[in-house]
Structure 1
Amino acid sequence: MTEVVLKLSARDLTHADLAFCGWAGSDHHLAGVARQLERARTGEVDYLAVCPATDIPVAKGGVDYRVKEGVGTLWQLAVHPALQSYGIGTFLVESAELRTRSRGLRRAELGVEEGNPRARALYERLGYAAYDRRRDVWDEQAPDGSLRRYETMCTLMRKELA
């Protein structure tokens, strides 16, 4: 058995990175991420890319500082499907928490779709605890290019940061 060790780094996601992030969602989703990068320039959010030595993103996600006073809200967390279950999601969440703490904030929150038990198990393993539920709605691009409304129920989770 051969063991492969990836040296990962977290940095700010850039517009140029979006060309390599097709695994993260549709063109509609990536256009939304591009809009979030504009918010990152004003300091309202951090948007991170996790990269191996190639410097090509294999995971991405944001921290929004405007959702709730004094809280970093993690959102749009995604790991390349072929690289899930290798610790990259843990690295991404821990990097987002570090960004949150660097702003002097001591709480991180996120929402996880109730139909995604693997993600919820990850967040629980990292110390997040459920505190509420909320319906979430957004537009999603269908295979034919049209937009459709996506509705889901999310469990809201939080963690006190050391």
Structure 2
Amino acid sequence: MSTIHVPLAVRDLTPADVPTCTWSGDRRHLEKLPVQLARARDGVVDYLAVCPPSDIPVAIGGVDYEARPGAGVIWQLAVMPALQSCGIGTVLIRAAEDRIRRRDLSTAELSVEEDNPRARALYERLGYHAYGSEKDGWDTEGPDGATVWHETMCTLMRRELR
């Protein structure tokens, strides 16, 4: 087996990127991305894209600075399914942490669904520690295309940034 190293760049997600991110979630998620990009223009979130030389995002995710006072909350992380477990999620999280530091905040927080042990293992490897849990939910697209409410329990995790 050969190993190929592809350079990755992290930049702000743009409205032009949204149509290329169909792998990141359902139709409802894609419809909400422009709302988050407007929040990014207002400076209350950062929304990042990890891109290979093609400049087409292969991972996206945000940092919300309003969700928890004194912390940047990393959320809506997604890596193109075919490229998961290649280190791209780590690149995205480290870039999000850098953005948090630039805001002179020393804490990064995130939540992970309790039925997603792979993601939790990644966050733990990156130094995040569980400190609680909470119920979360959002609108999603059901099998028939109708909007349904998805509810789940999430583990709250944080990492002190130095």
TM-score range, shorter chain: over 0.9
CA distance in 2 between counterparts of 1:13 and 1:144 reads: 30
CA distance in 2 between counterparts of 1:79 and 1:18 reads: 14
Q: Alignment partner of 1:159: what SS? A: strand
- Residue aligning to 2:133: 133
Q: Alignment partner of 1:69: what SS? A: coil
Alignment of 1:81-92 (within 5 A): 81-92=81-92
Q: Alignment partner of 1:148: what SS? A: strand
- Residue aligning to 2:111: 111
CA distance in 2 between counterparts of 1:37 and 1:126 reads: 27
- Residue aligning to 1:2: 2
CA distance in 1 between counterparts of 2:158 and 2:33 reads: 23
- Residue aligning to 2:149: 149
- Residue aligning to 1:16: 16
CA distance in 1 between counterparts of 2:26 and 2:17 reads: 15
The normalised TM-score by structure 1 is: 0.98
Alignment of 1:59-74 (within 5 A): 59-74=59-74
- Following superposition, the deviation at residue 143 of structure 1 comes to 3.1
Q: Which amino acid aligns with 2:15?
A: H
Q: Alignment partner of 1:119: what SS? A: helix
Q: Deviations over 1:69-103 (max 9, x none)?
A: 11000000000000000000000000000000011
CA distance in 2 between counterparts of 1:99 and 1:56 reads: 21
- Residue aligning to 2:158: 158
- Residue aligning to 1:54: 54
Q: Deviations over 1:96-122 (max 9, x none)?
A: 000000111100000000000000000
Structure 1 residue ranges without an equivalent (≥5): none
CA distance in 1 between counterparts of 2:138 and 2:15 reads: 22
- Following superposition, the deviation at residue 144 of structure 1 comes to 2.1
Moved runs in structure 1, 4+ residues, more than 3 A?
none
